[in-house]
Amino acid sequence: MTQIHHSFSIFGLNSHLLKSLEQLGYVKPSPIQLACMPHLLLGKDVLGMAQTGSGKTAAFALPLLNNIDVSLKHPQILVLVPTRELAIQVAKAFSDFSRYIFGVKVLALYGGQRYDIQLQILRQGPQIIVGTPGRLLDHLKRGTLNLVNLNSLVLDEADEMLRMGFIEDVENIMSKIPKKHQTALFSATMPNIIRRISKRFMNSPQEIKIQSTGITRPDIQQSYWIVRGKKTDALIRFLEVEDFSATIIFVRTKNATLEVSEALEKHGYNSAALNGDMNQSLREQTLERLKTGKLDILIATDVAARGLDVDRISFVINYDIPMDSESYVHRIGRTGRAGRTGRALLFVEYRERRLLNNIERTIKHPIKEIELPKSELVIQKRLQIISEKIQKQLNSADLKSYKLLLSKLNLKDGWNFENLSAALLKLVQGERPLIIPPDKRYSSLSFNNSFSTSTYNIRKFNNNKINPNSRFIHDRKKSENMTLYRIEVGKNDGIEVRHIVGAIANEGDISSRLIGAIKLFSTYSTVELPKNHSKRLLACLLRTRILNKPINIKLIAYSSLRENKKSLSFGNRKNYIKRTF
């Protein structure tokens, strides 16, 4: 029996779960798992304070899966999460852990996904539902989700749901499930509202607080880049200007390891993929090539890279941002070994800014934002490489025969050595041209110091003085080409700006920073959204509810109409206030 069984078998988990854990590369339980799992296995309620990335998903998923009844085809476990990304992540974790438990079905319910797809899976009787509050509440009101037989409820990142304005929806959902059930609530902070919910809905919960250990070493220089355009193109540009011994590039999926490796090979990079499909022999050969310098770039998933220890790795690229902060710490810890200075680069999509905030909270310091290397720097690096190659040839002693060949070149009259050198330089550039198009110009999309924003929110929560609009106090760039919408909820419904932003960002899968001016009226509100997202957003938000009321979103006008001082159907333009962030 392997060490993994000795480690996790202390909880009494069934053999199917232990087999999955071994295959997924789990070595030993994390502190949150050691503290929570015994109580959850006994059916007790748990109130946990732990940062994202502490291993809490496994802490609640494993014991709940261990106690599930696969013969019953109805929801037994419900997990509430604040965002669609987290819903997908948690649902995948449940699926991974239960891969050897026959008959378990997992469904993620979130905004932006077609209802017919969700309804089709709901009819199949999934035992595990992971979803965002808005979409779950919508299914409950439609009667398409039945929770009468639910026996386990998990609130994951409760303070994040509070910050996004979903807490009323959460309480509404909790009031609709059977009184006799097990509840696990996890939150990075514990504001009074979350504490009140725990007292109202939980039964003498075991309180557990885990301090994050995710402190990174000071000899690792960390930075992030906001993704614009094709990630593979950006990756190649960063690799071109970076001086590194060996690089490991982290991606989320097996397919991505192959796709990125293929893209790099096309550009002349000596790279290889490392994923779970590789047999042990090939894995060992690949790692040996990396250690000996026969391979310079490795593209790997987190699972495949477990246990990887190569001193010559000087550069770690998080091509796909990790879903949990501890994975980030483990990833970048593979550089800066043996007294060397390491570099870590993180690619961040706009919709992933929350994950960046979580990472900064965990490592307890901000990560520096950098720009894509300019074309001038790329040209300079390429010229440097060619110059070094030419100088090496000039220093060699075997050029006499080539000088003779030079005199035999059949060239037309009018050439000179300067033109000849330029022509040869053009030939020698190969697939990396020395003349490249100017850089594309992008509008400023900075996150405006995401770390300071996140620490501000933590401080506000800890002081239990929650400003409904505190999430939106920082500066924000003015947007152009916006579309103006009307939604049928307003001040009389108890609506606040945070409710609107939270619902649109989550259900519409759009960064909250892309949401423009919001104006609250008595019975309705107006909101500006990016023009280039209009059709998709309208389709996603047609059935969205805020505080249990349908918003019935409708197009009013484009922002250019206001600039031309054309009248708007909702009233006097003087009442229109631009929301600044």
Task: Indicate where the chain has its CATH 3.30.70.330 domain(s).
Answer: 467-575
Give domain 467-575's CATH superfamily: RRM (RNA recognition motif) domain (3.30.70.330)
Higher pLDDT, 201 or 475: 201
Note the pLDDT of residue 64: 97
pLDDT band with cut points at 50, 70 and 90 for residue 455: very low
The string of pLDDT tens digits covering residues 226-263 is 988 889 989 988 988 888 889 999 998 888 999 999 99
- What's the confidence (pLDDT) of residue 3? 44
pTM of the shown model: 0.53
pLDDT surpassing 70 at residue 269? yes
Q: How far apart are CA 264 and CA 262, in angstroms?
A: 5
pLDDT at position 52 is 59
Contact status, residue 51 vs residue 454, Cβ threshold 8 Å = no
Interval 64-98: pLDDT, tens: 999 999 999 999 999 999 877 788 889 999 999 99
Measured distance CA(263)–CA(236) in Å, rounded: 9
Beta strands 482-487 and 525-530, pairing class:
antiparallel
- Specify the pLDDT at position 576: 37
Q: Is the dihedral angle over the CA atoms 322, 377, 219, 448 positive or is it negative? A: negative
Q: Are 63 and 34 in contact (CB under 8 A)?
A: no
Average pLDDT over residues 332-345: 79
In whole angstroms, what is the distance from residue 65 CA to residue 392 CA? 64
Nearby residues of 544 by Cβ (< 8 Å), 6 or more positions away: 111, 134, 138, 503, 504, 507, 508, 550, 551, 553
Contact call for residues 528 and 194 (beta carbons, < 8 A): no
Res 569 pLDDT > 70: no
The answer to whether 468 and 498 are in contact (CB under 8 A) is yes
Lowest mean pLDDT among 138-142, 273-277, 530-534, 551-555: 530-534
Arithmetic mean of pLDDT, 94-109: 94
pLDDT(461) > 70: no
Which phi and psi (to 5°) does residue 268 adopt? 85, 10
Give the bridge partners for 250, in sequence order. Answer: 300, 318
Q: What is the pLDDT of residue 43?
A: 93
Mean of all residue pLDDT scores within the chain: 79
Where along the chain do the CATH 3.40.50.300 domains lie?
3-209, 220-373
Q: Which fold has domain 3-209?
A: Rossmann fold (3.40.50)
Which phi and psi (to 5°) does residue 166 adopt?
A: -100, 0
As a whole number of angstroms, the distance between CA 84 and CA 106 comes to 15
Q: What tokens were used for 237?
A: 């540009």
Q: Under a CB-based contact definition with an 8 Å cutoff, are residues 247 and 314 in contact?
A: yes
Whole-number Cα distances in Å, 529 to 371, 481, 514, 548: 26, 9, 7, 22
CATH topology of domain 220-373: Rossmann fold (3.40.50)
Eight-state DSSP code of residue 541: H
What average pLDDT score do residues 123-135 get?
A: 93
Is 538 strand, coil or helix?
A: helix
Name the phi and psi angles at 287, rounded to 5. Answer: -65, -35
229: tokens are: 């355009």
Give the model's confidence band at 444: pLDDT under 50 very low, under 70 low, under 90 confident, else very high: very low
**Model confidence over 381-414: pLDDT tens digits?**
777 777 777 787 777 767 777 777 777 777 777 6
pLDDT, tens digit (0-9, with 9 covering 90-100), for 42-68:
999 999 987 655 678 899 999 999 999
pLDDT tops 60 at residue 203:
yes
